Amino acid sequence: MRICFVCTGNICRSPMAEQVMRERLAEAGLEGLVAVDSAGTGSWHEGDPADERAVRVLRKAGYGSGHVARQFHPEWFRRLDLVIALDQGHERVLRRLARTPEEAAKIRLLRSYDPGADAGELDVPDPYYGDEAGFEEVLRLCEAGCDGLLAEVRSQVG
């Protein structure tokens, strides 16, 4: 199974979700069965590392933080099983990039996997213009979403 998390520039939210999911898969003994990566809807930060605040928050919580930003390309849909958007804006962009109904069916919002999320508020907020507390909130939301996503992955890969 292959999963790609997608946010705007691939330096804050999606790399954080990627690292959380990698850890969840390792804890569940599924890292060999599920490949996880991330990308951005735009190319602004392509080649850059994750935002230093994201790195600090991830490391403080015990997660890995190695990352190089890249842009999502529509041809990736063919090799991916799930494309996880971090907010509804990303979801709209990805749906425009999807060339078939089958590709569009692979797109989900991360918080849709969080049983504690309010159905009317499924966005993971962009922490880029704020302080480190915003990144801590993003991590909390990513953890909750990834916990639910892990349950879905377990049901699909056994």
CATH number at residue 34: 3.40.50.2300
Tell me what pLDDT residue 65 has. 92
From 2, 48, 70, 126, active-site residue:
126
Give Cβ neighbours of residue 8 (< 8 Å, ≥ 6 apart). Answer: 40, 41, 42, 44, 89, 90, 126, 128
Domain span including residue 14 = 2-157
Position 93 pLDDT exceeds 90: yes
Q: What mean pLDDT is reported for the chain?
A: 97
- Answer yes or no: 87 catalytic: no
Position 158 pLDDT exceeds 90: no
Q: How confident is the model at residue 132 (pLDDT cuts 50, 70, 90)?
A: very high
Quote the strand ranges of 8-130, DSSP E: 35-40, 82-85, 107-109
- Answer yes or no: 7 catalytic: yes
Tell me what pLDDT residue 114 has. 97
From 7, 12, 142, 146, active-site residue:
7
Q: How many domains does the chain have?
A: 1
Tell me what pLDDT residue 70 has. 98
Tell me what pLDDT residue 119 has. 87
- Answer yes or no: 53 catalytic: no
From 13, 22, 24, 111, active-site residue:
13
d(CA 68, CA 123): 23
Model confidence pLDDT, tens digit, residues 53-84 = 999 999 999 999 999 999 999 999 999 999 99
Q: Are the C-beta atoms of 98 and 74 separated by less than 8 Å? A: yes
Model confidence pLDDT, tens digit, residues 3-36 = 999 999 999 999 999 999 999 999 999 999 999 9
